[in-house]
Structure 1
Amino acid sequence: MPQHAIHAVTAAAALVSLAACGAVPSSAASFPAQSAGQPAARTGSAAPSRFVPGPCPKPPEPIEALSSARCGFLEVSENRSRPGGRTIKLAAAVIPAAEPAKPAQDPVVFMAGGPGGDTFDDIPFLVSSGLNKDRELIVMAQRGNLYDRPNLACPEIDRFNAQAVGLRYGAQPAQQLMLKAVKECRDRLTADGVDLSAYNTTENAADFADLRKALHIPRWNVYGYSYGSDLALTYLRLHPEGIRAVAIDSITPPRSAVLPWGWSSAAEGIGNIFEACAAEPACKSRYPDLPRTLTEQVRKLEAQPLTLNVPPPGGGEPVEVVLDGGALLDVIVAFGVRSKDIPAALDELRNGNPQRFAKARAAGSVQNVGAFAHGLTESVACSEWAPGYSEPDVLKAGRKAFPGWPDTVLAQVPQLPFQYPACRVWNVPDRASIQRVATVSPVPALLISGTFDAKTGASWAKDVARDLSRSTAVHVPGIGHWVVPQSPCAQRVLASFLARPTTPDTSCVDGLEPEPFTIIPN
């Protein structure tokens, strides 16, 4: 699940390549810039989706894999339930197999996290993880994302996020500024003609089903992480045809994804980090009773916040940051400090040195304005995750997860502060009954979780696995959110799953231990 302060299996079949669609090389040109307000095509009825070949995006930091990719736009109806509405364009790329001698006939399609993150920015992680080693890798920006037309970026929220590091995390001034930014973005997008109700997981899933057909792909494999796992499970439930296998990583179950859920995931991930430290003699000896240390520091900072001037990670001019209890927790959940360093960082904080956490907090001041589609985030969160619950439910879940913590900290879900008032501003229809449905399927599935994941707790995989009759679930020790790029073992498991979906080799997980924790001498 996202943060305001930022940020799939049987025999192979022949793949009809994009060459049959007349795709052009990616080097021809970059995508023309287009804002949400530029004209979009309109049709008299719900037009069939189609793929239009075109040049690949040109990100600020060049992505080598795009130099040989075949790219274009998938054109789809913005709202399939409203014939006569406009058509939107979703940027897509097909990246060739790295070992082209004997490529597998079934490609793998990627579903990114967020919702709202730049899918193309994930390509280097996917390639380095071997996703395209012996098969084509297909990426498509979910509707409203960067390089799409329209792009539901909210520079207003980006600018708020940069300001927020200098404010108390859950206090009224931050809330007022954030709601102002949310309203300004909503007003601008709706004035441009964007139907915010159409930016949801059901439409996202239909987009991927249309992409497979538009590219004439008989069967493919699906890999999604975080929100992409929510999307992948929804896609499998609504559009099972043509799916060979589904792999999901850092799992967000559609049936369970509600705002209070974030508290149980935070408690599980942080608790597993502390338990791993207690199981390592050197860490246990040097940093005893970490749960108590964290509670003490949260209480202390919430009562007396620290204001510091620190440079953001990577360097730059120092920025003023406020470190209170809510900000401390949010930095931990967001892995602003590496898991292996959290015990040491808490000990330093206890002894008057807050630099690790303050520097991680300062990272929020560096915003890539316009790169994140906050409009998609708000539409999904407000229509699918928020309904049926309220601020008191969030507080109740927080008290259960972290007994004795200040209510001012527990009132805001980690990574999604002020979401309920924001949803009252965003004002999209309730889709909970449509989305909160279990996916029951015999399609071979792989479920990958990291034991240190404080965003999407590892235990949630069990609930999903029960409904997938041919599933394999693995928990990778010592890894946080988005496991595969961080774990060579997880990469091997995923590769074996894509090769043999019903009998993946998970042996490397046996006996795997977390990386040793950082020990600072007394």
Structure 2
Amino acid sequence: MTFLTRAVTTVAAALTAVACVGSTPGAASAPYPPSSSATPAAAPELTDPGPCPGQTDVTCADLTVPLDRTGAVPGTLRLRTAVFGEADAPKGTLLFLTGGPGQPGLPFVQRIRDRLPGALAQYRLVMIDQRGTGDAAVDCPELQREVGSSDTVAPTPGAVTACAESLGVKRNFYTTADTVADLEDLRRALGVTSWTLDGVSYGTFTAGQYALTHPHRVRKLVLDSVVPLDGAGVLYEEALGHSARVLRAACREQACGFDPARDLATVVRRDDNGVGVFNLLVIASIIDPKLDNPRFGILTALHASAAGDRARLDGLVAGFSAPSDEPPSEFSSGLHAATLCADSPWPWGDASAPTEGRQRALKRAVQQIQPTTVWPFERKTAGAQGIAQTCLPWPASRPNQAAPHRTLTMPVLILAGDRDLSTPVQWARDLAAVTPRAELVVLPGAGHSTQSRSDGGARAAEAFLLR
């Protein structure tokens, strides 16, 4: 679930999408060092400060963190940070976390300034290129070409294993718990006792895990386009089923005169192209939540295909699944895989489970899905989409370390677009139901990343931040 996306100039050049992660403790043992929350010996600091390129009023600096906090594997990582505003800002410091996993933070500083100007008159803004992103991005060329920033496109097993092999033992140190420890180092380097966090898409998972690990350091949270904090959703059942509601809402608004959800059901059962059609809908809904972009014509393409004229829809599916030219510095598919596979609870267990037996476990889990849950898609689409297919062949690795707490206790604003197919609105409702001080705002007609793409989302966030 990326935070922002590139502009789409042609159907064949469509980009972006999603990343969906969770967190559970592991089961089987594996040949890697145990995780640890041990604090580095040296106090963290921001080094080599200077004006950020193109933004002279923003200070860029480096945060150096250990690759492995146990010290068993040597090495450090240099994380680029950006700070805008004064240390004594009236409302304190706001850490804004972008998505992925795999997306850097620094390229979006100006975007956040533009979208939240009222809040940033009262806050100091901090953003960071999380480990494995930006200038120091994990680079897996074959995987990058095949999937770019999508996790609905299914990569080849060879591209996945080549990425893991190129990382070697380092693949064990890109979990969200590692990033949470980095963020705590950043807080200490900034010299603040507590701060406010705002996360979008996968950034909601990172922000939430930080808040569950260091609750007394968090004043309040904004979680926009929520990824479940308990790890649910890796098979995307809710998003597959939500597509029917999104399509039918678009049809009502366009007075299309037919049922696009029923057309979709006809097409995917006839053509066995559920993953491709789902990928098309996810990306198109990010670009245009109301699915009324005339360049795409998705509703009419579905209807024509159901009637036997497949050309338009087949072209859209192929175009939106085309190989990516997005560089890892803009979105790292390698980091995306390493974090996703470490963090998520899988039908086969956690990341430490041996690859043998995973396919059988996935098949059993798919067979247990109620067909009505994922309709108009078939349930096999849940197991064939890119999230599962990326981690199915990923070698046994160190699993994510679960946060010590389970409930967010600080004030939390949860934002959701009712047309979001990347992080469906049900995920936001589920989190709000178990969060005592949550405020849920569902934005009609909005899609993914509401603060960036919906004026209503930005206004709601500012009102909450300025209370």
Q: 1:58-137 residue pairs with structure 2 within 5 A?
A: 64=54, 66-82=55-71, 85-96=74-85, 103-130=89-116, 133-134=120-121, 135-137=123-125
Q: Does 1:378 align with 2:344?
A: no
C-alpha distance in 2, partners of 1:465/1:118? 27
Alignment check: 8 A CA contact 2:407 2:435 kept: yes
Distance 1:402 1:253, change over 3 A: closer
Query: Cα 1:232–1:286, aligned 2, differ >3 Å: closer, same or farther?
Result: same
Q: Following TM superposition, by how much is the alpha carbon of 1:247 offset from its aligned partner in structure 2, in angstroms?
A: 0.4
Match in the other structure for 1:320: none
Give yes or no for contact 1:441–1:469 (8 Å, CA) kept in 2: yes
Q: Deviations over 1:278-309 (max 9, x none)?
A: 6x4x63x423222211111223332xxxxxxx
Change (3 A) 1:206 1:233: same
Give the corresponding residue for 2:260: 290
Task: Report how far residue 388 of structure 1 moved.
Answer: 4.1
Partner of 2:189: 214
Q: Which sits farther off after the overlay, 372-381 or 435-444?
A: 435-444
RCO higher in 1 or 2 (8 Å CA, sep ≥ 6)? 2
Q: Summarize the Cα distance change of 1:428–1:56 in structure 2 as closer, same or farther, 3 Å threshold.
A: farther
Q: Deviation per CA, 1:140-171, whole angstroms, max 9, x where unpaired?
A: 111111123xx312222122337x9xxx966x
2:9 aligned residue: none
Evaluate the alpha carbon distance shift between residue 397 and residue 408 of structure 1 in structure 2; reply closer, same or farther with a 3 A threshold.
Answer: closer
Identity of aligned residues (%): 22
Find the aligned partners of 1:271 and 1:481 in 2 and give their Cα distance: 17
Query: Over alpha carbons, which structure has the higher Rg?
Result: 1
Displacement, 1:264?
A: 1.3
Q: Distance in 2 between matches of 1:354 and 1:117?
A: 34
The equivalences for 1:402-413 within 5 A come to: 402-403=374-375, 405-406=377-378, 409-413=381-385
In the TM superposition, residue 483 of structure 1 has moved relative to its aligned partner by 1.0
d(CA) in 1 for partners of 2:52 and 2:284? Answer: 29
Distance apart, 1:436 and its partner CA: 7.7
Matched, 1:141 2:134: no
Give structure 2 stretches of 5+ with no counterpart: 6-14, 18-39, 349-360
Which of 493, 508, 514 pairs up with 2:460?
493
Query: How far is 1:237 from its partner?
Result: 0.8
Contact 1:74–1:90, Cα closer than 8 Å, also in 2: yes
Matched, 1:369 2:327: yes
Could you say which residue in structure 1 is the equivalent of 2:443?
Answer: 476
Q: Using the TM superposition, give the Cα deviation of residue 56 of structure 1 relative to its aligned residue in structure 2, in angstroms.
A: 6.0
Counterpart residue identity of residue 46, structure 2: F
Per-residue deviation, 1:419: 2.5
Matches of 1:420 and 1:242 in 2, distance apart?
33
Q: Residue type matched to 1:288 in 2?
A: F
Any conservation in 1 of the 2:195–2:219 contact (CA below 8 Å)? yes
- Please give the residue correspondences for 1:141-180 in structure 2 after superposition, counting only pairs within 5 Å: 141-148=129-136, 151-161=137-147, 178-180=156-158
What's the offset of the Cα at 1:385? 1.3
Shift of 1:443: 1.2
The 1:487–1:293 alpha-carbon spacing in structure 2 relative to 1, beyond 3 Å, is: same
**One-letter code aligned to 1:185:** C
Q: CA deviation at 1:92?
A: 0.5
Local SS of the residue matching 1:422: coil
1:453 aligns with 2:420: yes
- Residues 75 and 409 (structure 1 numbering): CA distance in 2 closer, same or farther, change over 3 Å? same
Determine whether 1:339 maps to 2:262.
no
Question: SS state of the match for residue 452, structure 1?
Answer: coil
* SS of aligned partner of 1:73: strand
Asked if 1:299 corresponds to 2:269, the answer is yes
Structure 2 counterpart of 1:514 = none
Kept in 2, the 8 Å contact 1:440–1:467? The answer is: yes
Change (3 A) 1:263 1:436: farther
Q: C-alpha displacement at 1:410, in angstroms? A: 4.3
**Unmatched 5+ stretches in structure 1:** 8-44, 59-63, 303-323, 501-522
Superposed displacement of residue 186, structure 1: 2.2
2:369 aligns to what SS in structure 1? helix
1:396-421 Cα distance to aligned partner (Å, 9 max, x none): 438443347556634313x5251343
**Contact between 2:290 and 2:419, CA under 8 Å: does it hold in 1?**
no
State the secondary structure of the residue aligned to 2:215: coil
- The residue aligned with 1:223 is 198
Question: What letter matches 2:143 in structure 1?
Answer: I
Distance, in Å, in 1 between the alignment partners of 2:201 and 2:419 is: 14
Instruction: Provide the rounded CA distance (Å) in 2 between the counterparts of 1:438 and 1:294.
Output: 42
SS of equivalent to 2:393: helix
Aligned AA for 2:454? S
Cα deviation digits, residues 433-480 of structure 1 (max 9, x gap): x43876423311100011111121112223322443222111111111
